[in-house]
């Protein structure tokens, strides 16, 4: 569909603790993917937001003597400030307490109940308030009578009237869809685990709670509230206009990609597509699960007590450096070890040395040899031109597949090639010899600065704006072999100054 907007989403984050670098990782990845598509000329829409219902939030707000709505309002405000601080440009910010979202949830519930995909029954069994997740007795037993996910104490729900979603009836349809759409689940390890889980069989899902007041009441039965996960997953539809703005919905849906952490991959790869099948709506193009950041071998999370916030990291480094580190340090989809020392090493090895030096050396030579201008004549070096073409092809392929690490590897191969080009061509010798080849060398290097700035801009929008100002260039999708002959190059301060260890 040519006028289809590129629609990418993050998880909506639970309004019960300060957001940490794990949340920032998901959000930055979505922002980079969105900026890449915009750089290519596509209309884009990125969604993030807050998950604001559930028993855990009610308990936390009550313990603090705060009304639940005031409690979640505070966390929503803090989230918006954090994303602005991290140079994230989201187009939608959905909250599950929004009136439009509530109406979407109620309408979906009514439709599925009328269809028979939601039915009356009773629930009795384990429930983790911390994870807001139902578990089987066997799962809890295998985990030592604790939550299989977070390890906390399990709540035993006594028999209560409940409504269930017929998840079990969609197992075969899900497997057929996975086979017909092999790119739907990424990365492969998480995909295989999901397929194995569905192959072993699905149980129907309890989608209501009794005696949990902080939630959306079930239409026609105010004694029950809708299960927080059923509520939360529908944010991707409510923010896209379903069913209140179908013009917007047809422009956005289906989503191009849901980016989620691996701890909630099952909800998005099994429960969510089954809900969409029940609604007879198209499924998203992709669900991509990423790994965790660990600190001293433990997952960074509130439950482990080792939260690191972006604000702490950015006391030392610019937010764009953290953005870069997230997606340069490890392949998207795997776990990675976090430390301030490692950020410093990555900063020096990738930014201060090869990239910063490439800019500074080129600017200095242009000032010294050509009065601060790109040469007015000359030819682009054929070897570097070919390298740019290869880089653009590889970078684009990796970015479209959300393989950010591979894209940056390709770009840094070009940066390294440009630095080697300086050493091989020895422009300082060409200048002394008054060789006309000096024009070719500096013209080529000037073109490399534009090329690198354009491709790197989705990762580091603020720092790349500084880089663009150094060469008086408007950030755009670069072309291989492009250089603006005779244009002044203002230069500027060192882009990536050395930092203390």
Whole-number pLDDT of residue 1 = 45
Residues 83, 27: Cα–Cα separation, whole Å: 8
Q: Is the pLDDT of residue 304 over 60?
A: no
Answer whether 97's CB lies under 8 Å from 37's CB: no
pLDDT mean across residues, the chain: 93
Residue 270 lies in a domain: no
Q: β-pairing, 118-128 with 155-165? A: antiparallel
Number of structural domains found in the chain: 1
Average pLDDT over residues 92-104: 98
Residue 466 lies in a domain: yes
Residue 450 lies in a domain: yes
Residue 368 lies in a domain: yes
Scan for tokens 């939601």, then name that residue.
118
Residue 360 lies in a domain: yes
Residue 214 lies in a domain: no
Average pLDDT over residues 12-34: 96
**3-state secondary structure at position 199:** helix
Residue 430 belongs to a domain with what CATH number? Answer: 1.10.730.10
Q: Please, which pLDDT band fits residue 500 given cuts at 50, 70 and 90?
A: confident
Q: In which domain, by residue range, is 459 found?
A: 340-470
Q: Strand (E) positions, 69-220? A: 92-95, 118-128, 133-134, 155-165, 185-186, 205-206, 208-210, 217-218
Tokens of 434: 């008054």
Q: How far is CA 453 from the centre of its chain?
A: 21
Whole-number pLDDT of residue 347 = 96
Query: Roughly how many angstroms between the first and final C-alpha of the chain, as a whole number?
Result: 51
Residues 287, 129: Cα–Cα separation, whole Å: 26
DSSP 8-class letter at 264: G
Answer whether 113's CB lies under 8 Å from 254's CB: no
Kindly tell me the burial class for residue 109, based on how many C-beta atoms sit within 10 Å of its own C-beta (0-12, 13-18, 19 or more): buried
Helical (H) or strand (E) element with 261: strand 257-261
Residues 452, 449: Cα–Cα separation, whole Å: 5
Residue 439 lies in a domain: yes
Query: pLDDT digits over 185-240, tens only?
Result: 999 999 999 999 999 999 999 999 988 889 999 999 999 999 999 999 999 999 99
Query: pLDDT digits over 111-136, tens only?
Result: 999 999 999 998 777 777 666 677 66
Whole-number pLDDT of residue 129 = 63
Whole-number pLDDT of residue 413 = 98
Residue 433 lies in a domain: yes
Whole-number pLDDT of residue 300 = 60
Answer whether 32's CB lies under 8 Å from 327's CB: yes
Query: pLDDT digits over 311-340, tens only?
Result: 999 999 999 999 999 999 999 999 999 999
Q: Is the pLDDT of residue 68 over 70?
A: yes
Query: pLDDT digits over 138-193, tens only?
Result: 565 565 667 666 566 777 767 789 999 999 999 999 999 999 999 999 999 999 99
Answer whether 252's CB lies under 8 Å from 282's CB: no
């Amino acid at each position: 569909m040519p006028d289809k907007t590129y629609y990418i989403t993050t998880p909506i984050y639970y309004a019960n603790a300060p957001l940490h670098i794990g949340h920032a990782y998901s959000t930055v990845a979505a922002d980079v993917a969105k900026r890449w598509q915009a750089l290519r000329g596509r209309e884009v829409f990125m969604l993030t937001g807050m998950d604001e219902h559930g028993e855990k939030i009610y308990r936390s707000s009550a313990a603090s003597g705060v009304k639940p709505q005031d409690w979640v309002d505070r966390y929503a405000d803090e989230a918006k400030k954090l994303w602005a601080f991290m140079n994230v440009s989201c187009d939608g910010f959905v909250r599950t307490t929004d009136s439009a979202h509530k109406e979407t949830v109620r309408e979906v519930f009514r439709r599925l109940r009328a269809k028979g995909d939601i039915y009356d029954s009773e629930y009795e069994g384990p429930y983790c308030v911390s994870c807001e997740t139902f578990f089987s007795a066997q799962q809890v037993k295998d985990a030592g009578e604790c939550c299989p996910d977070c390890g906390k104490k399990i709540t035993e729900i006594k028999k209560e009237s409940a409504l269930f979603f017929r998840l079990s009836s969609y197992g075969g349809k899900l497997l057929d869809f996975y086979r017909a759409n092999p790119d739907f689940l990424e990365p492969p390890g998480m995909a295989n685990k999901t397929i194995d889980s569905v192959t072993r069989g699905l149980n129907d899902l309890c989608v209501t709670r009794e005696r949990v007041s902080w939630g959306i009441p079930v239409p026609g039965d105010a004694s029950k509230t809708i299960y927080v996960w059923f509520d939360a997953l529908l944010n991707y539809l409510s923010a896209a206009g379903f069913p209140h703005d179908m013009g917007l919905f047809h422009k956005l849906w289906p989503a191009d990609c849901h980016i989620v952490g691996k701890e909630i991959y099952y909800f998005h790869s099994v429960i969510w597509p089954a809900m969409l099948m029940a609604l007879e709506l198209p499924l998203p193009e992709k669900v991509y699960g990423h790994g965790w950041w660990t600190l001293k071998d433990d997952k960074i999370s509130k439950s482990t007590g080792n939260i690191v916030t972006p604000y702490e990291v950015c006391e030392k480094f610019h937010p764009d450096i953290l953005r870069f580190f997230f997606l340069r340090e490890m392949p998207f989809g795997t776990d990675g070890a976090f430390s301030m020392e490692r950020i410093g090493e990555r900063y020096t090895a990738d930014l201060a040395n090869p990239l910063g030096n490439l800019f500074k050396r080129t600017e200095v030579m242009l000032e010294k040899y050509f009065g601060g201008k790109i040469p007015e004549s000359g030819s682009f070096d054929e070897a570097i031109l070919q390298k740019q073409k290869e880089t653009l092809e590889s970078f684009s392929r990796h970015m479209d597949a959300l393989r950010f690490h591979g894209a940056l590897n390709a770009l840094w191969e070009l940066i390294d090639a440009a630095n080697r080009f300086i050493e091989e061509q020895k422009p300082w010798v060409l200048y002394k010899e008054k060789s006309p080849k000096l024009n070719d060398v500096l013209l080529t290097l000037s073109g490399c600065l534009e090329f690198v700035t354009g491709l790197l801009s989705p990762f580091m929008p603020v720092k790349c704006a500084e880089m663009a100002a150094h060469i008086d260039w408007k950030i755009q999708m670069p072309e291989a072999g492009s250089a603006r002959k005779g244009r002044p190059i203002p230069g500027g301060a060192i882009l990536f100054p050395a930092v203390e260890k």
